[in-house]
Amino acid sequence: MSSQYNFGQDELNYIANNWVHLDHDQSITASTGVSYLWQGTTWTADALFGSGLRSGFANTDHLPAYTEVNLGANHVFSDSPIGKVTTRLSVINVFDKVYEIRDGSGIGVGAPQYGQRRGFYLSMSKSF
């Protein structure tokens, strides 16, 4: 095994004789989404669910499940002074739920990581 210095001897002994889940192994991952065109604007909503990534000694545990809900609106302005312009407003993590993707434990994980906090994004695009 390469990089054995990253593991304690007790973990190496366990790994040698047991099946070990990868650090990014999540039992259930699901997503859903919907879009609706109303008066020239496309409204969108989507949701993500994860049952929690592996953690702990030899990745034998997992973190709590998490969900994230996102909203968006997209509109095309055809009569702007510069021609057709598309705008989009997105709200990521609408409920500002704080969730941990990784806690820094487990095989192959070096530091805790968190999901994105609520974010607002406005974009404009112009095709040439």
Confidence at 25, pLDDT banded by 50, 70, 90: confident
> Is pLDDT at 26 greater than 70 in this prediction?
yes
**pLDDT recorded at residue 81:** 87
Identify which has the larger pLDDT, 33 or 111. Answer: 33
Q: How confident is the model at residue 7 (pLDDT cuts 50, 70, 90)?
A: confident
Task: Map out the domains of the chain as residue ranges.
Answer: 4-126
Number of Cβ within 10 Å of residue 34's Cβ equals 9
Q: How far apart are CA 23 and CA 7, in angstroms?
A: 14
Q: Among 3-7, 35-39, 87-91, 124-128, which stretch is predicted with the lowest mean pLDDT?
A: 3-7
Contacting residues for 15 by C-beta, under 8 A, at least 6 apart? 1, 7, 58, 107
Residue 55 has pLDDT above 60, yes or no: yes
H helices of the chain, in order, are 9-17
The radius of gyration computed from the CA coordinates of the chain, to the nearest angstrom, equals 21
Average pLDDT over residues 13-33: 90
The pTM of the full predicted model, rounded to 2 decimals, is 0.81
